[in-house]
Each structure stands twice: as C-alpha cells, then as structure tokens.
A = this chain, B = another copy of it.
C-alpha cells in the first residue's frame, strides 16, 4: 500500500523548518534553513522551494500535499498571509505560489494554530475536543480548538492570548497596550526584570554564570540558576508563572476547555518551575466549575509541533 506522506513547513521569523510527515505524525525527514526575511519575499519563497525539494527528493511520488504554518494573520480560506510583521509580509498569496510550482494540494494556517492542531492530535491534548495551546517565547501566542475545530476568528485574527490585559496599569507592550500578558510574562519580560533587579543591586548567582555580562542573561540561565537555589531567578520565574496563571485562569473562565497546553521556548527551559505556579494560580483564581476537570499540561511535541500541525492541514 502506498504510504500517505505530507510535506509540513513551519515558517518563522528566524528559521524555516520543512519535513516529510506520515499519517501517524512521525517526521521521516527534516531540514532547517534560516529565513533571512530581510532579503525580501522572493528570496524567502525561493528558500521554501529549496527546502521542499530537499526533503521531498526521495519520496516525490507519495506526497499528497503541502501544509504550511506561517506567522501572523493568515486568511485560511484564500491562502493568503494577510499580515506578518516579523516577516515584513502583507497580502502574500503563499498558497497560490506553492501550488503553482508543485501542482499539489496546499493549505496554509497561522503557526500557533498549527501547534494547537499538532498537540491536539498527537501531543498533550490527544483525545480532547476543546483545547487551548499557549506558546510562550519571545512573544505569547495561542491557538484555540473548540468542538474539535480551530477557532480562527472572523478576520483570522483570533487566539491573540498574549495581548489580553491582566494588569490594568502594567508595562507597555509592543502592541501599544498596557499590561498585556506578553509584556509581563514572555521571555524578554523575564530577562528585563532580572536585569533591572541586578542593576538595582540584588545579589544573584546569575552574574557568575554570565561573567558579569548582563546581555548574556537568558531564561534558560535563569532556570538553571533557580535550580541551584538562586533567589532572584526563583522570584522572577514565580512572577512570570503567576501572570501566566492569571491568563490561563481567564481562558478557563471564558472558554472552559478540557486542556490548556503550554509550550514554546520559555516553557521548554523553565516549564518545571512555571507549571506548578501556573496551576496554583489557576486554583486560586479560576471558578471552581471552570477548573473542575481542566488539565493544564506542558507541550509534548517541542519544536516539531508547528511542522506536524502544518502537515495536518492536508
């Protein structure tokens, strides 16, 4: 029997992953290239072609289609990236471009939504009918599945969980608003907070790890320092975890999903610290009926969620 294979592509501001994925969600072959978005649309699209041809070289005949996860606001119906600020893209007809070259079915979806699809099918949300996927990294994004279907939003702009105000007079966010979850709990917020405290004179073992170079501080280093008993790191991770917990509690109250899954770079390196604080905060802040059967889990598919989710579009 012919195997049914799909090419999954996960386009990000820094790198593009492409892979061959089978119907069980297994990645048979994978490649990664740098996006170099500053070189312009044509150059990036050419690199996408290169990545596709590289991974598909040995299995061209069995490829059923190409699924693409792209950042930003994606018009799923018409296959257009409406707006992706970190790519410099506006109204890019990505589905048409890829389809015209390979004459295969092509589908395109927001990258966070692809992550949600993948975790729902093969990851921490397996079996769940309603699920929220939260990715915590440089920013905070999300994908929402209700009754087994992605909630895209009327203008394909839904799931912007990171821009929920949870602290009326909180810090200014990149989006212009104040007190967004992203401005309080994403990677840069944690790092800035630690840096500010060090500058203000707080003692911490982080300084030794980074050779007194504040620019070298990462969430991963903070998590390691916390593991070794560093007070400042512990406190600042708790702080971020508390804000993430407020965000999760709000989503539980509004949408009452079965599972809320947290992934992304920050959760990967600091999830063991953050998850228990998040759960405690939800316990204290969400309505009892909203948290009664709620599962709060770490993502299981890591960096491959986007790729695998993209393959599920076909």
Binding site for B on A (CB under 8 A): 73, 82-83, 129-130, 142, 144, 146-147, 149, 151-161, 163-168, 170, 175-178, 243, 246, 249-251, 253-258, 284-287, 289-290, 292-293
A-B contact pairs, 22 of them (CB 8 A): A73-B289, A83-B289, A144-B254, A146-B146, A147-B151, A151-B255, A153-B257, A154-B293, A156-B256, A157-B256, A158-B254, A158-B290, A160-B253, A160-B254, A163-B253, A164-B254, A165-B249, A165-B250, A168-B243, A175-B287, A177-B249, A177-B285
The 8 A-B residue pairs whose C-beta atoms are closest, nearest first, are A153-B256, A158-B256, A157-B289, A160-B253, A157-B256, A167-B168, A154-B258, A164-B250
Residues of chain B lying within 8 A (CB to CB) of residue A167: 167-168
Q: Which residues of B contact A254 (CB under 8 A)?
A: 142, 144, 158-161, 164, 251, 254
Copies of this chain, count: 2
Verify B292–A153 contact, CB threshold 8 A: no
- A132 to B, closest residue via Cβ: B254
Bound CA span A153–B164, Å? 20
Smallest distance from the beta carbon of A133 to chain B beta carbons, Å? 13
B165 touches A255 (CB 8 A): no
- Determine if B154 and A287 form an interchain contact, defined as CB atoms under 8 angstroms apart: no
Q: Output the nearest chain B residue to A166 by Cβ-Cβ distance.
A: B165
Is B246 in contact with A154, judged by CB distance below 8 angstroms?
no
User: In the complex where A165-B166, A166-B165, A246-B165 touch, is A257 in contact with B154 (Cβ < 8 A)?
Assistant: yes
* C-alpha spacing A256/B153, complex, angstroms: 5
Task: List the B side residues contacting A142 at CB < 8 Å.
Answer: 254
Question: In the assembly, what is the distance between CA of A159 and CA of B129, in Å?
Answer: 17
Please state if B255 and A153 are interface contacts (CB–CB under 8 Å). Answer: yes
Known: A152-B256, A156-B256. 7 other contacts (CB 8 A): A73-B289, A155-B293, A157-B290, A160-B253, A164-B253, A164-B254, A165-B285
The smallest C-beta distance from A58 to any residue of chain B, in angstroms, reads 40
Contacts of A144 in B (CB 8 A): 254-255
What is the minimal beta-carbon distance from A155 to any residue of chain B, in angstroms? 6
- Closest-CB distance, A4 to chain B (whole angstroms): 28
Alpha-carbon gap, A129 to B83, bound state (A) = 23
B151 touches A149 (CB 8 A): no
